[in-house]
Amino acid sequence: MTVFLVIIVLALLAVTGWQMSKIFQMSQGPGAESSEIANDNDNRQQAKLMLWFMIFIYVGMAYSFWHWSKLYLPEAASEHGNQVDTLMFISIGLIMVVQVITQALLHWFAYKYQGKKGKRALFFADNDKLEFIWTIIPVITLAGLIIYGLFTWSDIMNISEDNDPIVVEIYAKQFSWQARYAGEDNTLGEANVRFIEGINTVGLNENDPYADDDKITTELHLPVGKEVLFKFRSQDVLHSAYFPHFRAQMNVVPGMVTQFAFTPDITTEEMRNSEYMVDKVKTINEIRKDNSEALMAEGEAPLDSYEFDYFLLCNKICGDAHYNMQMKIIVESEKDYNEWLSEQDTFASTLESQE
């Protein structure tokens, strides 16, 4: 009740102050300037503020580029990744040039052509030449970006079976990934969620001979320099397979198979030894060391030392544990890849071991 009374009193005080201000304005007489109409002094102040705001924008922009540029991803680890990065930086460059020019003109004109008593602004209903210029330039620019983007997208998405790519299925479910490698026949066996039962966690058709040599893993290994064709399936909801370091992403849709291919060209070990990653890992471990000291002071276990690895992430908010949906990716030499793959159990041998 006390709070309610305080609110009423404050509201009445506000109304009283507003009414007193109106009475003061009326007492100025008919010749006084209205505070609701901007005068020359108001216009000068607003014009100067526009210049200061322009400076604030450019200083903030420059600082952001300098301070946050360290959070950029390192160089792309796939052959097509450089094309994606080039397209992105061209787009950012064009946007920044236009933004710098238009914002400078907007704020400078607000200062230069500030309102003054007795000064009238030039007005004209239309100007065909100006309208042509500000229409045709964006049209040509956007058409160039779209066409360039389409060619880039076509190069990435046109997958040639003649290259005999490695076929890997990525199976998504809340909240984990599984990888299924085609065996020596390089053909994945039939799969459907209706076949999921017991150890058959990805729903392979046990009667399909192509499924016998399939290998199911919870870690993704890829040979460097070899094209990999990924086929994506979802068991439950919409997911999105995101390979940030490889500049690849594909929606994983329940009830259908989507696909994407890329060729990794930087091994995990090479990326770990890059100057960018060495500095980043060093910084992260310094932070973890400080946090570990605080944890140990409270009697808790310290944090483990961080080591870089590629990861497959989910880029769709698919549920409560979405943040934890990730799978480690190892890019290695073809020899190491073949050795690792030979150690994995086939689907047929897994079934036999359960009988």
Task: Tell me the residue length of the chain.
Answer: 355
Helix (H) or strand (E) holding 155: helix 128-157
What was the pLDDT predicted at 270?
Answer: 95
Confidence tier at 27 by pLDDT (50, 70, 90): low
- Of 31-35, 101-105, 259-263, 273-277, least confident by mean pLDDT is 31-35
SS3 state at 340: helix
Confidence tier at 13 by pLDDT (50, 70, 90): confident
Confidence tier at 355 by pLDDT (50, 70, 90): low
Q: Can you tell me the mean pLDDT for 147-173?
A: 84
Could you tell me which of 213, 153, 169 has the C-alpha nearest to residue 352? 213
Residues of the chain with CATH 2.60.40.420: 166-270+305-353
b/e sequence 70-91, b meaning 16+ C-beta within 10 Å: eeeeeebbbbbbebbeebeeee
Confidence tier at 152 by pLDDT (50, 70, 90): confident
Q: What is the 3-state secondary structure (H, E, C) of 40-81?
A: HHHHHHHHHHHHHHHHHHHHHHHHHHHHHHHHCCCCCCECCH
SS3 state at 320: coil
DSSP letters spanning 62-129: HHHHHHHGGGS--S-SBTTHHHHHHHHHHHHHHHHHHHHHHHHHHHHHHHHT---TT------S--HH
**Is residue 30 over pLDDT 70?**
no
**Structure token digits, residue 63:** 């600082």
What was the pLDDT predicted at 24?
Answer: 66
Q: Can you tell me the mean pLDDT for 58-69?
A: 90
**Angle at 267 (CA atoms; ends 263, 268), nearest 5 degrees:** 125
What was the pLDDT predicted at 351?
Answer: 81
SS3 state at 14: helix
Q: Can you tell me the mean pLDDT for 11-40?
A: 70
319/235 Cα distance (integer angstroms): 14
What was the pLDDT predicted at 72?
Answer: 83
Classify domain 166-270+305-353 at the CATH topology level: Immunoglobulin-like (2.60.40)
Looking at every residue in the chain, the average pLDDT score rounds to 87
What was the pLDDT predicted at 203?
Answer: 87
What was the pLDDT predicted at 53?
Answer: 94
What was the pLDDT predicted at 68?
Answer: 87
Q: What is the pLDDT of residues 292-328, one digit of tens each?
A: 988 888 888 888 899 999 999 999 998 888 889 999 9
